[in-house]
Structure 1
Amino acid sequence: MKSAQIGKVLLTPLVLSLGLSLAPAAQAAIQTDVINEKWGKPTLVYGGGLSDAQATEVNQLFGISTIENVNRQVVEGSDMDLYLGTSGAATSSLFSSVLVQKQDAGTGVVVDIKTPNNITLITETQYANAAITAGATDVLIDVASPIQVTGESALTGVYKALAANGETVDTARTEVAQQELETVNEVATAHTGDSNFDSSALDKAVAEIKTALADYKQSNGQVASESDLNTIINDVLANNGLENVITADEVSKLVTFAKAYQETSAIDSAEVAAQLNQFKQQAEQQISEAYKNLQDSGILEKIGAFFENLWKGLIGLFA
């Protein structure tokens, strides 16, 4: 929140709790009516540009029933600079906020955008995939904004929440996670409205690329060359039905991201590998039935063409 208001938001729970009587009846995925004694209080990170009234609205959007049951932080421009490698980010322009809570092993990174109409650029699976790159493990992440924003600052809120709970946040990885987010979103946005494209299929492909890079390094004792990166990425795109959709320029951007990714500690992390396996299942469930049917029909066409060519070959033998 604006600097003059930060103290009020963090230090006057009574004032904020007065607005909670208007909270929606539906419960947030992260429960705040009682304190989870295993994982402690969830961490709420407000966008620094929020007014007090907007902060109260954010509490409502997250379905917070008792404000004292959450730990509160504020993400500022200096946090953006620290975690994303930016310079001079303005606190006053940050509105997207996050509620984060640790979960049992095997949960994976699960993102729920509470205000989908107000987060205009980033999807739930894009948030989750990038958060895994940065080091998030087994957490629920709720995202909300009281006004329309791109939502790019929400990941910084996640990092600040993790750090506030004693977790080491590697800024080299958070910067690459931001590069990933921007690259994937740029590709997805370029194909908006294309019936041959599915954003979740791309998210799944990016997770598989990261897994393949880790497997490559483990098998070869070194990271992949640019030539091998191109092969890996094109193979993964083909396996997800995207080989004739993603352009050569977009593949080049994915290669640039992959180069940066395999130079981080994420590539050697068993935790990242486990989180990616969970994520790929989540992304698969998000792929539209129309896209899956399109891929199935494409496979049938390929099989049909194979047998047609085989039959023509056999006829030629006996002609």
Structure 2
Amino acid sequence: MGKPTFVYGGGLSDAQIKETAELLDIEDMDNVNSLPVTGEDLEFYLNDGDTQTSEMISSVLVQKQNAGKGVEVIIENPEQITQITSDQYTNASITAGVADAKIVIASISRVTGESALTGIYKAFDKNGEKLDQDRMEVAQEELETTNEIAQENAESEGFDSSKLDQAIIEIKQALADLKEKQGELATREDVERIINEALSKFDLENMVTQEQFDKLLSLFEKYQKTSAIDSTEVKEQLLNLSSSVQDKVSDLISQAEESGFFDRIGNFFKEIWQAISSVFN
């Protein structure tokens, strides 16, 4: 399997690199391949030249796994990665072409986490696995779009990012199934229908604004034009991720049902008390 690859933020000092390594449970730097991720890397992998190396803080530890293991992303200190979730990273990584890898992410200070994908891409590149440029760029757009929707709906009652994650997975799967069945890409109307069906399935249709929907539409029109749409590997990785996310969605539904049940019990006793009180008033 080879050594894990430690890609640290280029904006870190030597002391901060050591601190980050400790967060990632790296006891001996000789046991990992280590290299920095810079603003130049962000431009190289994602055509994004707006970020300076000094701003690159989040770091990743990437270990290739046996075939069939899927992609596992662990955020070591989620209180410092303020926006992106592990499932969002996983979903986007699969889009980019990452497969069968354990990825641990950490940051010594608070960051949104959007640039961590670059470190993942660089780790694969330096280990001789070239990822497709178009897919990397679409993956970054996916991460930014889903994060934006999640952040803008964070206070909305009934919203949970796990539902959005599962909707994104199902949209990808439906587009791939349609391509396989028809032998051609989905029309714009097909993509709109598939997105609407996925959002409706997870009760998100009234939470996603028209502007957010348009961004999803633009994203998935680009997604289906990449090699991800025909990839058996992507299908397998998405199935692994879907199983994990579905467990979280099921837990959410169970919690909501239990909450409603206990609310009804509370209302029942409240009505009894009010009836008793009225007798004596």
Please report the TM-score for the alignment, with normalisation by the length of structure 2: 0.88
CA distance in 1, matches of 2:167, 2:58: 27
Partner of 1:208: 170
The answer to whether structure 1 residue 52 and structure 2 residue 8 are counterparts is no
The answer to whether structure 1 residue 233 and structure 2 residue 195 are counterparts is yes
Q: CA deviation at 1:295?
A: 7.6
Amino acid at match of 1:254: L
The answer to whether structure 1 residue 224 and structure 2 residue 215 are counterparts is no
Matches within 5 A, 1:1-319: 39-287=1-249, 289-294=251-256
CA distance in 2, matches of 1:149, 1:271: 31
Residues 178-228 of structure 1 show CA distances to partners (whole Å, capped at 9, x for unaligned) of 000011001111111223111011011101111111111111111111111
Residues 283-313 of structure 1 show CA distances to partners (whole Å, capped at 9, x for unaligned) of 1223373445548999xxxxxxxxxxxxxxx
Q: CA deviation at 1:257?
A: 0.5
Q: CA deviation at 1:73?
A: 1.3
Residues 146-168 of structure 1 show CA distances to partners (whole Å, capped at 9, x for unaligned) of 11111111110000000111101
CA distance in 2, matches of 1:207, 1:222: 20
Structure 2 residue runs without a partner (length 5+): 261-281
Q: Give the match's secondary structure for 2:83.
A: coil
Q: CA deviation at 1:251?
A: 1.7
Q: Give the match's secondary structure for 1:287.
A: helix
CA distance in 2, matches of 1:166, 1:224: 33
Q: Give the match's secondary structure for 1:192.
A: coil
Percent identity between the aligned chains? 50
CA distance in 1, matches of 2:170, 2:133: 23
Residues 100-130 of structure 1 show CA distances to partners (whole Å, capped at 9, x for unaligned) of 0011222211111011111112111111100
How many residues end up aligned between the 2 structures?
Answer: 260
Q: Give the match's secondary structure for 1:122.
A: coil
Structure 1 residue runs without a partner (length 5+): 1-38, 299-319
CA RMSD, 1 decimal:
1.7
Please report the TM-score for the alignment, with normalisation by the length of structure 1: 0.78
Q: CA deviation at 1:143?
A: 0.3
Residues 52-109 of structure 1 show CA distances to partners (whole Å, capped at 9, x for unaligned) of 1100001100111221110111111111001122125311110000000011222211
Contact 1:110 1:140 in 2 (8 A): yes
Contact 1:200 1:287 in 2 (8 A): yes
Residues 133-152 of structure 1 show CA distances to partners (whole Å, capped at 9, x for unaligned) of 00000110000011111111
Q: Give the match's secondary structure for 2:8.
A: strand
CA distance in 2, matches of 1:241, 1:296: 18
CA distance in 1, matches of 2:258, 2:201: 12
